[in-house]
A and B are shown apart, each in its own frame.
Chain A
Amino acid sequence: QSVLTQPPSASGTPGQRVSIACSGSRDNIGGNTVNWYQQFPGRAPKLLIHSNNHRPSGVPDRFSGSKSGTSASLAISGLRTEDEADYYCATWDDGLNGALFGGGTKLTVL
């Protein structure tokens, strides 16, 4: 079981807005920035959001991130079929002295 907790699945229809939560603790999310990754089957992960709420160049502004206390959230607005993928939150843990990934959320676009 991951230290960072994500729902195993999420779903939405095209055009909808969906959110994926990531819950941690004071040692990780509470004291450090959160990053989000998108991964398609058989592909390497891609950095989607860094430093809580910043999009790397080329990432559509439909993707946004936020953090409050020991939780973070990824929001996807104007959902598209091509957004169907696995999404992971990640951060540093000061107690473990290492990086952490959440368990991942499989997003289905119905």
Chain B
Amino acid sequence: EVQLVESGGGLVQPGRSLRLSCEASGFSFGDYGMHWVRQAPGKGLEWVSGISWNSGRTYFAGSVKGRFTISRDNARNSVYLQMNSLRTDDTALYFCAKDKGIFGLSGLDVWGQGTTVTVSS
């Protein structure tokens, strides 16, 4: 079964850091780009970051650039999102998602169930 499972969310104070993980199974992880997408409570989807299959290219939304980094370990079938200098407006459900084909263009065809990040003092 093709699956993505996120972990690492939780309650954190503003200014602190958190690292999200996403473990993949059921497909050839190293062949595909991966992304993080978030959804604030009651709001729409916001793309956060993406990484190419070989980590050669990484991309970030303007709202997180300079604060978040994305990485992957193809041997562990995992992608990570390191979130630093967290702000209250980073509070959201964070989804991990797989590229269908061409990076950033073919759509995200597999999604995890998400992990919740709450930034509050």
Contacts and interface: CB of A to CB of B under 8 A. Distances in A.
Interface of A: 2, 32-33, 35, 37, 39, 44-47, 49-51, 56, 86, 88, 90-92, 96-104
A78 B104 CA distance: 31
The binding surface of chain B is classed by DSSP as: strand
Contacts, number: 71
B interface residue count range (under 10 / 10 to 19 / 20 to 34 / 35 or more): 20 to 34
B45 A35 contact: no
The binding surface of chain A is classed by DSSP as: strand
Given A90-B107, A101-B44, A44 B60 contact: no
A45 B45 contact: yes
A91 B106 CA distance: 9
Interface of B: 35, 37, 44-47, 50, 59-62, 95, 97, 100, 104-109, 111-114
